[in-house]
Chains A and B, each alone.
Chain A
Amino acid sequence: MEANKPKLIVDGKRLDGRDFDELRPIKIEAGVLKNADGSAYLEWGKNKVFAAVYGPREALPKHTADPERAVIKCRYAMAPFSSLEEHGRSGPNRRAIEISKVTKEVFENVIMGENFPGTEISIFIEVVQSDGGTRAAGITAAAVALATSGIPMRDLPFAVSAGKIGDHVVIDLNKIEDNYSDADVPIAISPRTGEILLLQMDGSLTREEFKEAVAKVKKAGQVISKIQREALKAPYEKISNKYK
């Protein structure tokens, strides 16, 4: 109901004190899960996400295999204890299945799968705590996990949501902003080319507002990409520094 809609912008700042273009704090740790071929743990504001990669490995069941390239599979799921609200159901629901699909499509673009025909590369994203923007967090973490697996890629994609709250186009909506926003636009980008690999929209925007959103996403992406790169380099630099 309009009457119950909270004010999301107070004195030019968002409820959590951020500016319109400000990202929540992001921390990434690469290689946290021992069994997976590649993995990463990411905290983005209050979001906490594990991403893991298995593969390339034999595609099973056999009928899912592609003789020309690796098949990319993706599972995005939220833990039943991840939300501030009630206990959720176990296993992916329809929303999670849609997110799994569009996430898979991001990585199908950048993974050089033609090197591994007949195999599958499985990406797992488990959200253990959620606060809006989990699909962007998942994609950003999965890119790091893939890089730690050694699977060749043309780029390291990142993702972030843009949105409209009040009359302003903002970056990186948290849960409450997402609930009451006029638009929520998750976007994933291939930073090397600037091309858009994921684009969804929920709500309404003018054409100008949309352009503004994309520009803000690209700008925020510079910060996100840097954090991804640093997470990948950190374990090696730490050991190197020990033995300099």
Chain B
Amino acid sequence: MEIVVPGEMILDKPIHMENTFIENEKTYAAVLGVFDREKKTLIPLEGLWYPKHGELVVGIITEERPNSYVVDLNAPYKGILIAKYVRDRLSVGDIIEATVKELDETKTVVLMREKKLYGGKIIDVKPSKVPRIIGRNNTMIKQLVEGTKSTIVVGMNGRIWIKGGDIALTTEAILRIQDEAHTSGLTDRIREMLEKSKTTKSE
């Protein structure tokens, strides 16, 4: 595992990769991240979110305007829902999951297909850790849901909604995945953590 810092040269030739830049025919890291020389990827260790079409996000309605709702996404840009396409009436303070349509020219994240989420708790994590929380083929998230009996909606913006089940355990597990995302053997350790908690509770 190669940890690289901004400005560090990672390749002697120009290869287009996310989180890098090219100068003088060489590729440089633009963020603190893990460089995989074989796969030619730079995975950020910290995290900003760049909205992509089709991504699921979790947000909070912060403003009601005549034709739209403003949505806080815990991101550099605000989200927006166009009122006439919204299913149910929404109010300020509502938590929603929605899909990213696009980042428009005013730099607002246009959202669609919203669904209101009732009750529950929100945790904000670094967006770069979300893939690890989901896991390859959803292995990690499935394990979490089974082990805690919580309903979990993971927004690609790093905002996670949890409801029911063992919320304290779910919170602890998610924060631990965030801290150890870059290590190996994490799926097993989380499984052990969840199992251990089950046995402790039944004692």
Binding site for B on A (CB under 8 A): 38, 55-58, 110, 112, 115-119, 146-156, 190-192, 228-229, 232-233, 236-237, 239-240, 242-243
Q: Which residue of B lies closest to A115 (CB)?
A: B50
By a CB distance below 8 angstroms, the chain A residues around B46 are 38, 147-150
Which A residues are in CB contact (< 8 Å) with B146?
Answer: none
Given A112-B21, A239-B183: A57 and B76 interface contact (C-beta under 8 Å):
yes
Q: Give the Cβ gap from A130 to chain B, nearest Cβ, in Å.
A: 27
C-alpha gap A237/B126 in the complex (Å): 18
Binds A, one of B27-35, B89-97, B166-174: B27-35
Question: Are B31 and A155 in contact, with the CB atoms below 8 A?
Answer: no
User: Interface size on B (CB < 8 Å)?
Assistant: 35
Option from A150, A154, A240 in Cβ contact (under 8 Å) with B126: A150
Bound Cα distance A52, B16 (Å): 31
Please choose the segment from B3-11, B53-61, B111-119 that sits at the chain A interface, where 4 or more of its residues have CB less than 8 A away. B3-11
Q: Are B19 and A190 in contact (CB under 8 A)?
A: no
- Set of chain A residues within 8 Å of B6, measured between Cβ atoms: 110, 146-147, 152-156
Known A-B contacts: A58-B78, A153-B7. Give 7 more (CB < 8 A): A118-B77, A150-B45, A154-B28, A155-B7, A156-B6, A240-B183, A243-B185
| Shortest Cβ distance from residue A98 to the other chain B in the assembled complex, whole angstroms | 26
Alpha-carbon distance A63/B168, docked complex (angstroms): 43
A residues less than 8 Å from B107 (CB atoms) = 117-119
In the complex, which residue of chain B has the Cβ closest to the Cβ of A120?
A: B76
Q: Are B182 and A147 in contact (CB under 8 A)?
A: no
Q: Which residues of A contact B28 (CB under 8 A)?
A: 154, 192
Return chain B residues, CB-CB under 8 Å to A149: 46, 48
B183/A56 in contact, CB under 8 A = no
Task: Give bound CA distance, A144 to B99, whole Å.
Answer: 34
Chain A interface helix/strand/loop/mixed: mixed
CB-based contact B48/A56 at 8 Å: yes
Q: Which 3 pairs across A and B sit closest by C-beta, in order of nearness? A: A155-B7, A150-B46, A56-B76
B126 surroundings in chain A (CB, below 8 A): 150
B128 CB-CB contact with A under 8 Å: yes
Question: In the bound complex, do residue B31 and residue A152 qualify as a contact, i.e. CB atoms below 8 Å apart?
Answer: yes
A150:B48 contact, CB within 8 angstroms: yes
Name the residue on B nearest A234 (C-beta): B3
B179 interface contact, C-beta 8 A: yes
CA distance A115 to B21 in the complex (A): 12
Q: In the docked arrangement, what's the CA distance between A228 and B106, Å?
A: 36
- Determine whether the beta carbon of A150 is less than 8 Å from that of B1: no
A-B pairs with beta carbons under 8 Å apart, 29 shown: A38-B46, A55-B76, A58-B76, A110-B6, A112-B30, A117-B107, A119-B77, A148-B32, A148-B46, A149-B46, A149-B48, A150-B32, A150-B45, A150-B126, A152-B6, A153-B7, A154-B7, A154-B23, A192-B9, A192-B28, A232-B5, A233-B3, A236-B3, A236-B45, A236-B182, A237-B3, A242-B183, A243-B180, A243-B183
Chain B nearest CB, measured from A107 CB (Å) = 11
| Given A239-B182, A240-B182, A243-B189: A150 touches B128 (CB 8 Å cut-off) | yes
State whether A147 touches B5 (Cβ < 8 A): yes
Q: Contacts of A117 on B, CB cut-off 8 Å?
A: 107
